[in-house]
């Protein structure tokens, strides 16, 4: 395993063990952008984490880069020898789904002497494997024949939900037309890593997909490249009318720049029930939003919860540059204390022409 390049961190004298004992939920730690690589550099022993009652489910859900774990010198073999019997995690309430969601490189598992056949015999549901980041290509390289998978009761729905590179499936001789004829639900296809561009090329009419009961929520959660959707002639206005939950879109890795280029009027977004809190929690780069011609005055009027913006890593400097009228901010229910805590450089606000003595007095209080 490669060694970790430790980064210098400001000394805080706060022991993570103390954090654990103080009621701080690790989920909370995860939500404030803690770089786990940094944790590794602080000398925190992952063995200690395991001993402090930290639920692996929590670790998996908080975006822990397992690659980082590998880089900290933790040998997976050591994990196996440290009392963590691989059979034990399955029986101890640790859902393999959780492990799967952690980005764990199954190739690494394979290298630790874990026989995939053994995994199958331990009650590990292939559905769980499917939902993980399992690179099925890796499975194929371990001697697992796709034909065997098909014969072993593996539901294609499960395969679809995995990170299956459908290109790989295609390379194994599986004809997509055949898949369509085998009763495979399109829902399954959409949850996979299917390149929708490919689907479009096989004669699938997108309008037909819309009418076939395909839930756009599902589309949002797969690896859809919305740029591809835009290129397929789909009108984004149609998407808005199809009941797309923008929260889902936000979590799908949507490149908002692409949305902007597709002619979507952000005003329309505001009218379509977009929960701005959801947008804030996504990877939306608000700087990008600012560049798309969004009138921040409009945002302020759309019942945007500024608290949500605060949690989104918004660079308030960007706000300042976008000519946000401080008066508008005051009218939108902005908690001035929250703004102050967000790193807002009030000096910057003052520099772009905001001259409001009353507001300045309120701000000075905080």
- pLDDT category at 16 given cuts 50, 70, 90 is very low
pLDDT at residue 366, as a whole number: 36
pLDDT at residue 223, as a whole number: 34
The 10s digit of each residue's pLDDT in 317-338 is 344 434 443 433 443 333 343 3
- Residues 316/342, Cβ–Cβ less than 8 Å: yes
**Domain C-terminal end among 24, 40, 74:** 74
Q: How many domains are there within the chain?
A: 2
Which of 166, 75, 167 lies closest to 113 in space, CA to CA?
Answer: 75
**Domain C-terminal end among 74, 99, 117:** 74
Q: Is 66 inside a domain boundary?
A: yes
User: What's the whole-number mean pLDDT along residues 223-246?
Assistant: 37
The residues, any chain, with a CB within 8 Å of residue 356's CB and separated by 6 or more, are 326, 327
Round to whole Å and give the CA distance between 257 and 237.
16
User: What's the whole-number mean pLDDT along residues 129-156?
Assistant: 37
- Residues 287/313, Cβ–Cβ less than 8 Å: no
Q: Is 204 inside a domain boundary?
A: no
Q: Is 150 inside a domain boundary?
A: no
CA 315 distance to own-chain centroid: 20
Query: Residue 336 belongs to what domain range?
Result: 276-366
Q: Is 259 inside a domain boundary?
A: no
Q: Is 170 inside a domain boundary?
A: no
Q: Is 314 inside a domain boundary?
A: yes
Q: Per 3-state DSSP, what percentage of the chain is helix, strand, and coil (rounded to 5)?
A: 60, 0, 40
The 10s digit of each residue's pLDDT in 87-135 is 333 333 333 333 333 333 333 343 333 334 334 433 333 433 433 333 3
Q: Is 24 inside a domain boundary?
A: yes
pLDDT at residue 77, as a whole number: 32
pLDDT at residue 272, as a whole number: 39
**Domain C-terminal end among 74, 90, 118:** 74
Round to whole Å and give the CA distance between 152 and 129.
14
Q: Is 329 inside a domain boundary?
A: yes
């Amino acid at each position: 395993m490669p060694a970790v390049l430790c980064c210098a961190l400001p000394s805080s004298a706060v022991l993570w063990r103390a954090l654990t004992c103080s009621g701080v939920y690790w989920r909370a730690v995860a939500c404030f952008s803690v770089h786990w690589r940094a944790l590794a550099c602080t000398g925190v022993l992952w063995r200690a984490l395991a001993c402090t009652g930290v639920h692996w489910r929590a670790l998996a859900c908080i975006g822990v880069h397992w690659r980082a774990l590998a880089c900290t010198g933790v040998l997976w073999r050591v994990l196996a020898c440290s009392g963590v019997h691989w059979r034990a995690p399955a029986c101890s309430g640790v859902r393999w789904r959780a492990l799967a969601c952690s980005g764990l490189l199954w190739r690494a598992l394979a290298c630790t002497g874990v026989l995939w056949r053994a995994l199958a015999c331990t009650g590990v549901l292939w559905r769980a494997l499917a939902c993980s980041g399992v690179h099925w290509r890796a499975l194929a390289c371990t001697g697992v024949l796709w034909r065997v998978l098909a014969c072993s009761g593996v539901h294609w729905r499960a395969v679809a939900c995995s990170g299956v590179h459908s290109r790989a499936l295609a390379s194994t001789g599986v004809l997509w037309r055949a898949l369509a004829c085998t009763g495979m639900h399109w829902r399954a296809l959409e949850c996979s890593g299917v390149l929708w561009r490919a689907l479009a090329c096989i004669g699938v009419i997108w309008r037909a997909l819309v009418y076939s009961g395909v839930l756009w929520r599902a589309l949002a959660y797969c690896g859809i490249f919305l740029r591809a959707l835009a290129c397929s002639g789909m009108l984004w206005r149609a998407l808005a009318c199809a009941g797309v939950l923008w929260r889902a879109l936000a979590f799908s890795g949507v490149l908002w720049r692409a949305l902007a280029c597709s002619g979507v009027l952000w005003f329309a977004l505001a009218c379509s029930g977009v929960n701005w809190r959801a947008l804030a929690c996504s990877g939306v780069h608000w700087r990008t939003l600012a560049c798309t011609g969004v009138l921040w005055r409009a945002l302020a009027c759309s019942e945007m919860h500024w608290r949500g913006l605060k949690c989104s890593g918004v660079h308030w400097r960007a706000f300042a540059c976008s000519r946000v009228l401080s008066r508008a901010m005051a009218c939108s229910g902005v908690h001035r204390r929250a703004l102050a805590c967000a790193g807002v450089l009030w000096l910057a606000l003052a520099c772009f022409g905001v001259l409001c003595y009353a507001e300045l007095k309120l701000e000075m209080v905080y």
